[in-house]
Amino acid sequence: MSRLCKIVPERCIACGLCALYAPEVFDYDDNGVVLFSQEPKAYQQFIAVKDQEDVIKAYKRCPVRAILLEK
Ligand code: SF4
């Protein structure tokens, strides 16, 4: 099962948490701002990600809600 995920780089404070939890989904640009590791240009659209605990953890732990998940 997968869920739709979107990132909001404008909110990201480059804390480095999300890729720690879900490195196969999240990565960072040269400034440490979040991007999708598989689709680095997809930041204004939802993409399907596996509904895994690590993605949910990253979503919950992001301090500025720069990661959005749809059910
Ligand atoms: S957890 Fe949130 S604030 Fe931290 S790097 Fe990831 S998207 Fe940015």
The preferred substitution site among 6, 8, 11, 15 for testing ligand 1, maximizing ligand atoms within 8 Å of CB, is 15
Report pLDDT for 40. Answer: 86
- Residue 53: partners with Cβ closer than 8 Å, 6 or more residues away: none
Q: How many domains does the chain have?
A: 1
Distance CA 4, CA 50 (A): 9
- Report the pLDDT averaged over residues 40-47: 87
- The CA distances from residue 7 to 33, 40, 55, in Å, are 10, 11, 12
Owning domain of residue 34: 2-70
The preferred substitution site among 6, 8, 12 for testing ligand 1, maximizing ligand atoms within 8 Å of CB, is 12
Report pLDDT for 51. Answer: 76
Percent of all residues in the chain with a pLDDT value above 90, rounded to a whole number:
82
The pLDDT tens digits of the residues spanning 33-42 come to 999 999 888 8
Report pLDDT for 43. Answer: 81
User: Which string of b and e fits 43-70 if b means at least 16 CB within 10 Å?
Assistant: beeebebeebebbbebbeebeeebbebe
